[in-house]
Each structure stands twice: as C-alpha cells, then as structure tokens.
Amino acid sequence: MRLTSLSLAALAASANAAPSAGCGQAIPPKYPSPGSSTDLKLPGSDRRYILYIPPNYDINTPAPVYFSFHGATKDMSEQEDLSQFSNPEFNQDGIALYPNSKNGYWLSNPKAETARPNDLDFTNDLLTHMEAKLCIDTSRVYSAGKSNGGGFTGVIACNATVGRRFAAFAAVNGAWYNTDDIPGVGPCQPAQREEGYPFLEFHGTTDTTAPIDGNDEASAKLPVIDILELWAENNGCGSHEPWVKNDTVFETPLVKHAVWNCGGRDGVVQHYREGENGHCWPSTVTNDDYESHPDQCPLGKYVFQRYRVHLRFLQRVSTPGLKGLGVPFTS
C-alpha cells in the first residue's frame, strides 16, 4: 500500500495524540451520526453552531477539529457549504465546527457586538464543551475562516488565552482591521510557545471587498503583507523578515506562493497570492461565491482547490517529525 503525505501525517499524529476527556464516551443523542452534520446550541448560551462528525470517527481515536468561521453578513450554513470541511472527499477524519456570529459580524469588524461573553468567550467555551463530549486530539485543533471570519481567526491567534489552544490558523481573503481600540480584542499579544503559530493566508489580487493592499476607508483594512510580517515576527523570524521564496505554483503564473521559515520550522507562515481572483473562495468547481458574486470571480472558477492545500497545511504543521511545508500540495 502506498501512503500519501496526508496519511503519513495522520499516522504520525495519532501516535502523538493528546486525547480529550470525551474519549471513550458514546456520541450524545442530539449529535449527528458519523458522516453527517446538525445545527446545535451551546448549553447555557444563546449561541449556535453546526457540528460535523466525520465518517471515520471512533470514540477511542482522538480526532482533529476544524473551526470554520463565516464572513461578514453570512452565517454558519453558508460557511459549511463554502468551506467543504464537511465533504468526505476532502475530510474523512476531522470534526468540523461552524460557529454562528451574534449579528453577522465577528470581533475585529467594527460592527461586531463586543459585550461579554464575546466571540472569544464563545469559541473558548465551545471548544471546552466539544472536548468533554467527543474524542478530540487537543494538539490538533485548527482555526480557519473567510473574510471577517479569517480576520477573527487572527484575533484568536492573537489572544493568549484562546489562541494557545489552537495548533494553526488559516484565512481566505482575510479582512484585516486594526483591533487595538476594539473592546475585548486589543493589540496582538499571543502566548509564547515553542511550536509557534503556523499561519496561512490566501488572497485574490482583484479583491475589492478586502483589498490585498488594504484601503483607507472609514473601516480601513490593513494590507495583507502587514499581517504576514506580523506573524513572521511572532514566529521568531524578526521584524520585516522577507519570504524565502515566492514561487509560481500549480503550473500557472496566476498563483504565487510565498513562504517564511522561522525558528527552525519550514513554511511556518505561508501566503497564496491568487492572480485574477477577487473576494472568492478558490475552487476548481463552482461554489456560492462564484454564483452570488460573479463580479468578484471573473474566471468563473479557479485553478486550484483551496480545500486540499488548506488541509495539508493544517495537518502537517502540528505533526511531529514532518517538515517540507514550503512545498505546495498541487493535486
């Protein structure tokens, strides 16, 4: 049998798993059966989320967890459809969580509700609840999101209490705001940890909703390069560290892949720059972005599947003994 890089990663990760208190327990009756998802409410809260349990879930085998946060004015159902973490073609083994925001916006967006318990509290409480109810590998919990949801992924990473519970972070067309004066957020102050904070960002060069070079509007968005350099510095690269490569990938000049190697870790910060793509979730097949916002998606579909690249990054960054993160996954 030939083992792929992802199956090797899964084997290595299982040998180093950190099982949660929920291991060995039966799936709660209200939860979905393996291979399906359902809409739930966090006990003791008015906050809702969608839970997906993968086909290969085993109550005695700690599973990775993927949080996926929706964009501004969107919701958890659209994010499940867009992100495809609930698609067994891409994800046979990982639990997926799609939290719903309070009012259509996540912390970092100036329109988000900031009253406590806020979005960080919700994320922290939801993860604690899941670890008690399901068999989770607490060393393989990941955060991802699109647009405002991508920006909120950065907020999580910057929070010393909540961010330390996540192994890696990824954003698609992140909407990056200055959060210094936002109540409950403040400056980026991640906890210090040996494994660092692996960070991946995808962005379309023609994005007019969250422009790749930022804007100066009332709710100003920061340039993506500022965010990448922030995480390079947070990972021990030093201030304004240049990328070690900026290669054309996927056999097309449309896409470039920038990589930062920091603190002995290859590719701990990465960026995919998508030429001729706007505020769209990159995919070789159509999705809601292409159907609802054709002006932002001029090619109709894109030249690579974000799902595969995304999952490869998240799975490998927290797997001991596996390196080579700077090599793009192109199939």
- Predicted pLDDT at 173: 96
pTM across the whole model: 0.91
- Predicted pLDDT at 329: 34
- Predicted pLDDT at 199: 95
- Predicted pLDDT at 110: 92
* Distance spanning both ends of the chain, measured CA to CA: 19
Q: How far apart are CA 8 and CA 1, in angstroms?
A: 12
Residue 220: how many CB atoms within 10 A of its CB? 12
- Predicted pLDDT at 264: 79
- Predicted pLDDT at 78: 96
Tens digits of pLDDT across the chain (331 residues):
333 334 434 444 555 789 999 999 999 999 999 999 999 999 999 999 999 999 999 999 999 999 999 999 999 999 999 998 999 988 999 999 999 999 999 999 999 999 999 999 999 999 999 999 999 999 999 999 999 999 999 999 999 999 999 999 999 999 999 999 888 899 999 998 888 899 999 999 999 999 999 998 877 899 999 999 999 999 988 777 778 888 888 888 899 999 998 877 888 999 999 999 999 988 888 888 988 889 988 888 888 877 678 777 877 665 544 344 443 333 2
Q: What are phi and psi of 279, to 5 degrees?
A: -85, 60
- Predicted pLDDT at 6: 42
Angle between helices 119-133 and 148-158 (to 10 degrees): 80
Q: Six-digit token pair at 66?
A: 């993927």
- Predicted pLDDT at 311: 75
Domains plus CATH for the chain? 22-317 (3.40.50.1820)
Amino acid occupying residue 264 = G
